[in-house]
Structure 1
Amino acid sequence: MRDIAIIGTPVDLGAGRRGVDLGPGAIRYAGLKERLEELGYRVRDKGNVAVPLAEQLELPAAGEKLRYLDAITEINIQLAREVQAAVADGAFPLILGGDHSLSIGSISGVARGRRIGVIWVDAHGDFNTPETTPSGNIHGMSVAALTGRGNPRLASLLGGGPVLRDSDVVMVGIRDLDPAERAALRQSGIQVFTMHDIDRRGLASVMEEALMRVSMGTAGVHVSLDMDALDPAAAPGVGTPVLGGISYREAHLAMEMIAQSGKLLSMDLVEVNPILDAHNVTAELAVEFALSALGKRIF
């Protein structure tokens, strides 16, 4: 029996719309702990990383490239230390968001002292830097920062340089990229599977290749699941919905294949926005997908 450490990170400072700070509570309310225990896990809810309200902070100055940089850096350092401690205790870190800027901290903590692979399931590439961002929202810069690009405070959060190698990152479900971000991704060593690839090849083929790539030479795999990877018809409670996403069953299949690989080290569930949701359905889906990634099977 394995321990799972739930760590909430109710941050919305990296996003353009408010509300994802309520995501960890919504996911908990959907029965995450109890349903994981039904699978046979020992579950410890570590509570939430301390996150200031936007109202407590000074508004970003006009023309400032990175909104709330100081606060987001501190939140991610705290989260990285919490995750690192959970790993040291032999637990599986399950991080609840919150916006996708939190992955800078979660993945930094998981990867401390070892090489890991990352499967980034998202509608967006999150590969902007201060030079390319049209919005200044740090949740759109997480993969860039983790691979050593952009602001040095984010790109080397705990010191020691880039957290991830380009070759150890695979993106799945991408369908909305900014122009300069698209160009930067093409020049990187990151494998990007767009919705076009999923439509042509099928999700199973894409996931087989993704898992093979991120498993080569790594200690295991972190999955960062942004709920806007799903089609908004299935998951309406997200801040940046994009039509044409993966289906309910495709998302389950991806998580089931990750579970069957035996490589999963840790997981983020991010960008659940209950304010924009209908009857908490998006948070309930997040719980279902976590269960599939952690071994729940149909038969």
Structure 2
Amino acid sequence: MLHQNPNPSLWSGRKSETIEYWHQAAISIKDLKVDETQEYPKVGILGYAGEEGVKRNQGRLGTAEGPNAIRKSLGSLAFHLPETSRIFDYGDVYTENSDLESSHELITDTVFNLLETKHFPILLGGGHDLALAHGRGVYKHLASKNQTLGIINMDAHFDLRPTIDGKGHSGSPFLQLAQENQDAFKYLCLGVQRSVNPKSLFETADKVGAKWMVMEDFRLNNWEVIQEKILWFLDSVDKIYLSIDMDGFSSAFAPGVSAPSPMGFRPEFAFKVFELLSSSKKLISMDVVELNPAFDHDQATARLAARCAEYVARKVLR
């Protein structure tokens, strides 16, 4: 089985008699035995300790260590979720012998099970190929409910590149989801940088009906236009899956990624978007990907990734 049980020692921080920090609230679950109790709000954390997709896409290796780095930063954060809520850590899915596809199947099944049992899934990457497996799980969950899915990707890249010899990679997940879901594919990419996306990718985005905002427009002084675009997208779907690629942030705040950029968005602006998405009550799942601890400085990127997960969970479950 391509699964590693969670390591409780990763969850550490200040001690207190009551639950005041995430490490005190986190419950490690072995063997992917998903909690089926539905009486309380639940966060389901699943790591993707894989970088085969990054390797296939010729990126910098090291993302396999991302999930544990985020857990360490999450553990020390103050706990402001409802008192009745629970945080379940279901461990990591990993890749063996470059078999990316088997890892994806397990992730898809686990995401589906988490959603079916009323969790709010937070997936920690790992390469952005995670989005293919994650998206498949959300689509599967919504299929029986006859509900539409909108995918919002905060990223410097479209990740709409073609597969290589029929194999997916960290640059292809959303094109694969578009091909699998066709008319049901609703995709909004925020923070796209022209310098790292050739014209062919903009043409692909047009072909699959994607929406986007380039980095030049994705700035605080343009908030009214951005808000209108996001609200329009939210109104067009029933549920939202949010994917946060850490390389979408400026490298001044997120140096530890596979493809750093000095021209990305700032944290305070991204969190303004998180607030808008959470307030819609349509956000049902999220992932944080492409953290590469090998290139991080003072855990700055890991801390930011953890803050993203904590903030969204707090706003969604409140």
Q: Against the structure 1 CA distance between its residues 131 and 21, is the aligned structure 2 distance closer, same or farther, given a 3 Å change threshold?
A: closer
Shift of residue 238 of structure 1? 0.4
Is the partner of 1:79 in helix, strand or coil? helix
The letter for the 2-side match of 1:87 is: L
Out of 177, 187, 190, the position equivalent to 1:169 is 187
The letter for the 2-side match of 1:82 is: T
Residue aligning to 1:109:
137
Q: Distance in 1 between matches of 2:235 and 2:176?
A: 21
> Would you say 1:3 and 2:31 are equivalent positions?
no
Q: Distance in 1 between matches of 2:287 and 2:224?
A: 21
Shift of residue 242 of structure 1? 1.9
TM-score (norm 2): 0.77
Aligned residues with identical type, % of pairs: 27
> Would you say 1:276 and 2:295 are equivalent positions?
yes
Out of 110, 115, 140, the position equivalent to 1:82 is 110
Residue aligning to 1:146:
177
Out of 72, 76, 85, the position equivalent to 1:29 is 72
Gaps of 5+ in 2: 1-39
Residue aligning to 2:90:
46
Residue aligning to 2:162:
129
1:189-204 equivalences in 2 (<5 Å): 189-199=209-219, 202-203=222-223
Q: Against the structure 1 CA distance between its residues 100 and 207, is the aligned structure 2 distance closer, same or farther, given a 3 Å change threshold?
A: farther
After TM superposition, which residue ranges in structure 1, 4 or more long, deviate above 6 angstroms?
none
Q: Against the structure 1 CA distance between its residues 96 and 191, is the aligned structure 2 distance closer, same or farther, given a 3 Å change threshold?
A: same
Out of 199, 219, 223, the position equivalent to 2:242 is 223
Shift of residue 106 of structure 1? 0.7
Gaps of 5+ in 1: 58-67, 149-160
Q: Distance in 2 between matches of 1:253 and 1:108?
A: 27
Q: Distance in 1 between matches of 2:227 and 2:254?
A: 21
Q: Distance in 1 between matches of 2:114 and 2:107?
A: 11
TM-score (norm 1): 0.81
Contact 2:220 / 2:269 at 8 angstroms: preserved in 1?
Answer: no
Q: Distance in 2 between matches of 1:163 and 1:72?
A: 23
Is the partner of 1:183 in helix, strand or coil? helix
Shift of residue 131 of structure 1? 7.2
Q: Distance in 1 between matches of 2:303 and 2:258?
A: 16
Residue aligning to 1:94:
122
Considering only aligned residues, what root-mean-square deviation do their CA atoms show, in Å?
2.4
